[in-house]
Amino acid sequence: MSRPEVPPLPLNIPGLRLMGQVLLLLVALFATQAQALPVYARQTGQNCLACHAGGQFPELTPYGRMFKMTGYTIGTRTEVPLSVMGVATDAFVANTNQGSVALANTDKNAQPVFAAGSVFLAGKISDNTGGFAQATYNNYDSQDPNGNSHGYLRSDNMDFRYADHLIDQERDLIYGVSLNNHPSVTDPWNTAAAWMQYVPAASTAAYQFADATTPFPQTAAPANTAGLTTYLFWNRHLYAEAGTYRTANGLLSLLSFNNTDAQTPHLAGGWNPYWRLAWSQEWGAHNLMVGASGMVAHLYDGNDTTSAANLGTARTSGLDMQYQYLLDPHTVTAQLVYNHQETQYSPATFAASPAAALTGVPAMDSTNLIRAKLSYVYEAKYGGSLAFFSSHGSANVQGLPDTKGYTWEAFFMPVQYVRVGLQFTGYQTYAGATTNYDGLGRSAGDNNTLMLYVWGAY
Amino acid sequence: MKKPLFLSALGLSLLAAGCANLQHSRNVADPAVPAKVLAEQVCSTCHGLDGNPVSPAFPRLAAQTPAYLTSQLNNFRGHGRSDPAGSEYMWGLSSHLTDEQIAGFAAYYAAQEAHRDPGAGKDAALLARGKDVFEKGVPEQNVMACATCHGPKAAGNDVFPRLAYQHADYIVKQLSVFQNTHGGRPGTPMAAIVFPLPEDAKEAVAAYLEAMPD
């Protein structure tokens, strides 16, 4: 792969100073609490790194996975089952011009911003039940026609469980049921679609690139769903999960608040199956997982859920692999994901597309995605990672999805609840082209983004 | 699937929320949960069901002496043992344990059979040097023979812990903890004994203990 040029940095000195102040404040705040989720750490009384590999959220250790699979029930019920997380960022996009005007959503480029914050309600409820519920406030969630950004609080990952663990000389079986709001959010491994991501990522509308819009391992489900899955983990080797998703409405709409509007596709009916199989092997300080997963989603475009002309289908299937080496002071993780998605468009969408006027163009598209990430953390304090992504697909109805590039990150954790990082994402191909991908002269490398961040949680 | 199924699942979990399940509990602050249950439900995830963990990140507890197990759990609970891994992993889990539960853990792990890691003891020269340190000490540095207290085959005795088959990585870490005055394991004879122990002797004796040839 030829390396995209590193962009010249539009260094903004006052901005950096403010960023420094935010950083100092956060460090001071957290250093006094010298003691992933902080509420889980309070529940078990353990340090975050017992559950999070080298203290990197959200990546789990084998113990963290068992903690999740046993329904977040290890430990003691905490009096205040709450955690908060916040991130301040300063991102620099290589080129913010599109033709002769400023590119949309880049007005906060090169400015330090409080990007987003989350609240978590989480922990043990009883000996067999526990949960994880996150709501995220994105300060630059969306822009109005005048270009002003608006913040929104929206439902994020949610997972409520009943679990039991049968263990003695003869058998070791964990099984459980989860009510959750996203396919694969229940998964214990971090190569799952819902979890393989950089946290934080430059996801605000203010600078729309960086890792957030790099191809994601997909599941064929929108953000307004609720699902019931059941799973088992046998002899610390075989993990199997199956369930189905539907649109989160009625009582279940709590699981999707502010994530449902007229444009969001809606799952049709209650049979949108999700499945997952994985094999895990531990030896010495190493552990390896090889797995597969898939989903079939019947989707209405938007919220007109009565007309069959609006109904399409998306099928996803994927293979994933994760290797970890965990022995103080070293944490090594390697992740690899392949994902294939086939979208069968609804008759209405197809009829409205230029493809309908041509002969022999099928009403479907497929996308293939490969993502790989290697990370290393020393003493749960200093860390870095390198990731590659490449998506490739057909363009019968959709635009060319081809996007290819890499992300690197270096970070430092002065205390276990604070991380300061520098992240760079470089694009070789963006939306199907290396140069002039938008017809207005932007090239893929114009989207290269450098981001400085301070992340904290309590 | 129909909505009622979702709702009844939700209802069921809310119902279950009130119940305790003592035979499968993972509640480390409930004095009514027997030590054996916690050993299976909680401790086994790191230390292994029988006290023989897969990962060297966690010490082997199988066949450890009851007196030593009791003293360490007391030390974690009372924060008398504060080496980094000890406080990060063990303080929280032990903070609400009762004396009775601690005695239960001691009996449970002492009764298990310790296993040797299949990969242990590949380096013959290192083993020979380690055996020498263990059985004779390092006279020129005034280091006493370890076997004097830990037993000829490192099987331990009362407050002197068993070291045979223990992970070498863990042993080296503990020796460094003892060597450091602020290491977090005060009040034991180990600090004075291993203070002058050279780095290479630590590695060697740890390799020997992990393999402990018959």
Q: Is A106 within a domain?
A: yes
Residue A224: both structure tokens together: 């307004």
Mean pLDDT across the stretch A247-264? Answer: 77
User: Which of A75, A169, A285 minimises the CB distance to B28?
Assistant: A75
Q: What SS3 class is residue A257?
A: coil
Q: Is A384 within a domain?
A: yes
**pLDDT band per the 50, 70, 90 thresholds, residue A139:** confident
Those residues whose C-beta lies under 8 Å from the C-beta of residue A6, and which sit 6 or more positions away, are A424, A426, A448
Mind listing the domains of chain B with CATH numbers?
28-110 (1.10.760.10), 124-210 (1.10.760.10)
- The mean of the pLDDT values for chain A is 84
Q: Is A398 within a domain?
A: yes
Cα–Cα–Cα angle for A419, A422, A426, rounded to 5 degrees: 140
Closest by CA position to A51, among listed A38, A40, A64: A64
Q: Is A362 within a domain?
A: yes
Look up the domain containing A224 and give its range.
19-457
Distance from CA of A230 to the nearest CA of B (A): 11
pLDDT digits (tens, 9 = 90+) for B109-143: 999 999 999 889 889 999 999 999 999 999 998 89
pLDDT value of residue B163: 98
Q: How are beta strands A449-457 and A82-93 bridged, if at all?
A: antiparallel
**pLDDT band per the 50, 70, 90 thresholds, residue B198:** very high
Question: Closest chain B residue to A78 measured between Cα atoms?
Answer: B29
Q: Is A155 within a domain?
A: yes
- Is there a contact between A62 and B119 if contact means CB atoms under 8 Å apart? no
pLDDT digits (tens, 9 = 90+) for B9-52: 555 555 454 456 788 899 998 999 999 999 999 999 999 999 99
CATH of the domain at A246: 2.40.160.10
For residue B83, the number of C-alpha atoms closer than 13 Å in the C-beta half-sphere is 16
pLDDT value of residue B136: 95
User: Which of B13, B26, B119 minimises the CB distance to A74?
Assistant: B26
Q: Is A5 within a domain?
A: no
Higher pLDDT, A8 or A261: A261
Quickly tell me which residue has 């114009």 as its tokens. A446
Q: How far is CA A219 from CA A182, A256, B3, in A?
A: 9, 17, 22
Q: What SS3 class is residue A213?
A: helix
pLDDT value of residue A79: 67
- Is there a contact between A162 and B16 if contact means CB atoms under 8 Å apart? yes
Those residues whose C-beta lies under 8 Å from the C-beta of residue A11, and which sit 6 or more positions away, are none
Closest by CA position to A202, among listed A23, A382, A424: A424
Mutate one of B1, B2, B5, B37 to test the A interface: name it (highest A CB count within 10 A).
B1
Q: Is A370 within a domain?
A: yes
- What distance in Å separates the CA atoms of residue A275 and residue A183, rounded to the nearest whole number? 9
pLDDT digits (tens, 9 = 90+) for A338-378: 999 999 999 999 999 998 899 889 999 999 999 999 999 99
**pLDDT band per the 50, 70, 90 thresholds, residue A24:** very low
Closest by CA position to A371, among listed A355, A358, A390, A356: A390
3-state helix, strand, coil in chain B (%, to 5): 55, 0, 45
Cα–Cα–Cα angle for A27, A32, A33, rounded to 5 degrees: 100
pLDDT digits (tens, 9 = 90+) for A267-314: 999 999 999 999 999 999 999 999 999 999 999 987 788 889 999 999
Quickly tell me which residue has 């331990």 as its tokens. B156
Q: Which residues in chain A are closer than 8 Å to B76, comparing Cβ atoms?
A: none
pLDDT digits (tens, 9 = 90+) for A205-215: 445 555 556 77
- Is there a contact between A179 and B95 if contact means CB atoms under 8 Å apart? no
Higher pLDDT, B9 or A230: A230
Domain count, chain A: 1
pLDDT digits (tens, 9 = 90+) for A313-343: 999 999 999 999 999 999 999 999 999 999 9
Quickly tell me which residue has 């037993």 as its tokens. B151
Q: Is A199 within a domain?
A: yes
DSSP A401: -
Those residues whose C-beta lies under 8 Å from the C-beta of residue A389, and which sit 6 or more positions away, are A214, A215, A369, A370, A371, A372, A403, A404, A405, A406, A407
Residue A154: both structure tokens together: 């929206």
Residue A298 pairs in a beta bridge with: A313
Residue A169: both structure tokens together: 């000389």
User: Which of A49, A74, A244 minimises the CB distance to B1?
Assistant: A244
Mean pLDDT across the stretch A421-450? Answer: 91
- Is there a contact between A283 and B27 if contact means CB atoms under 8 Å apart? no
Note the pTM of the prediction, 2 decimals: 0.89
Those residues whose C-beta lies under 8 Å from the C-beta of residue B201, and which sit 6 or more positions away, are B129, B133, B138, B143
When mean pLDDT is compared across A40-44, A183-187, B2-6, B8-12, the lowest value belongs to B2-6
pLDDT value of residue A8: 35
- Is the bond preceding residue A329 a cis peptide, omega within 30 degrees? yes
Q: Which of A87-101, A184-198, B156-170 has the highest mean pLDDT?
A: B156-170
DSSP A442: -
Residue pairs between chains A and B whose CB atoms are closer than 8 Å? 135
This complex has an ipTM of 0.89
